[in-house]
Amino acid sequence: MMKKLSTMIIAALSLFCFCGSGNAQQTIEANNYQKPTNNMQTTDKKVLVAYFSRADENYNVGNITKGNTEIIAEMIAEQTGGTLFHIERTKPYPKSYNPCIEEAQQELRSKSRPEIKGGIQVEDFDVIFLGYPNWWGDMPMAVYTFIEKHSWQGKTVIPFCTHEGSGLGSTVRKLKSACEGATFLDGLAVQGATAQHSQASAKWSVEAWLGKMGF
C-alpha cells in the first residue's frame, strides 16, 4: 500500500513539473524583452517618442479630434522631455470607421508599406518610445514603413499601444523582429477609451510605468 502511494505521489509530481515547465516557457516567449529597472540612467539619453495615431471615427470612442495613441504619446513626451514624431501616411485613411478598417485590413493582408510623411533620424536618439494602436494583433503597416527606414542597432526601444481589449498582444514579438539589434524594455498598453475619457487615470499609468524606468 505504501509502495503504491509513493508511486502515485511521484507520478503526480512529475506531471506538475511538466505542466509548470510548459507554462514558464509560454511566459518567457510572451515577454521576450528586458524588464524595466529602477536603475536605468536616463539623464544623458536623447529620447524620441514616435507614434502612429488616427483621429476621426474610431471604435468604442466615436468621432475624435485627437487619436488615442497621440494622447498617450504626448504624456510620455511631457514626462521624459522627448521629441515627438507623428508617423502619418501620405494618403490619410478614410474618416469613417468601416472604410478605414477595410483599407487597413487590405494593407495587412498584402503586408504593404504605405508611404509616410516627412521623417526624423532615429539614429540620432538613444531611447525610442514607439507607439501605435493594436490592429488585429499587429501594428499599422505605416509603422513598418517607418521602422524599415532606419538602423536600430544599439537603440533602446520601448513600445506602447492603445487597444480595446487586446493589450500589446503579439506586437512586441513583431517589433523585436523588425527592429534588429535593439534592446527592448517593458511596454505599456492603455485602452483607447481610457485615453480619451479617463485621462487622469491614463496619465497615472504612464507616470508609474515611466517611473520604474527612471524617467
Per-residue pLDDT, 23: 31
Per-residue pLDDT, 44: 86
Per-residue pLDDT, 90: 97
Handedness of CA 206, 208, 214, 215 (dihedral sign): positive
Per-residue pLDDT, 41: 62
Tens digit of each residue's pLDDT (9 = 90 or more) over 110-163: 999 999 999 999 999 999 999 999 999 999 999 999 999 999 999 999 999 999
The C-alpha cell 508609474 sits at 208
Produce one character per residue of 118-127: b if its CB has 16 or more CB atoms within 10 Å, e if not: eebebeebeb
Rounded to an integer, what distance in angstroms lies between the CA atom of residue 37 and that of residue 15?
35
Handedness of CA 206, 131, 136, 28 (dihedral sign): negative
Which homologous superfamily does the CATH classification assign to the domain defined by 37-212?
A: Flavodoxin domain (3.40.50.360)
CA distances from 178 to 23, 38, 48, 64, 171 (A): 26, 27, 18, 30, 10
pTM of the model: 0.81
Which residues of the chain have a pLDDT value below 50? 1-39
Per-residue pLDDT, 40: 61
Q: DSSP assignment, residue 138?
A: B
The C-alpha cell 514603413 sits at 145
3-state DSSP assignment of residue 2: helix
Per the CB < 8 A criterion, the answer to whether 122 and 148 are in contact is no
User: What residue ranges do the domains of the chain occupy?
Assistant: 1-30, 37-212
CA distances from 58 to 48, 99, 164, 188, 211 (A): 26, 11, 11, 20, 30
Which of 46, 41, 191, 47 has the alpha carbon at shortest distance from 129? 47
CB half-sphere exposure, 171, CA atoms < 13 A: 29
3-state DSSP assignment of residue 184: strand
Which value, to the nearest 10 degrees, does the dihedral of the CA atoms of residues 101, 169, 206, 120 take? -60
3-state DSSP assignment of residue 159: strand
Per-residue pLDDT, 16: 32
Per-residue pLDDT, 37: 45
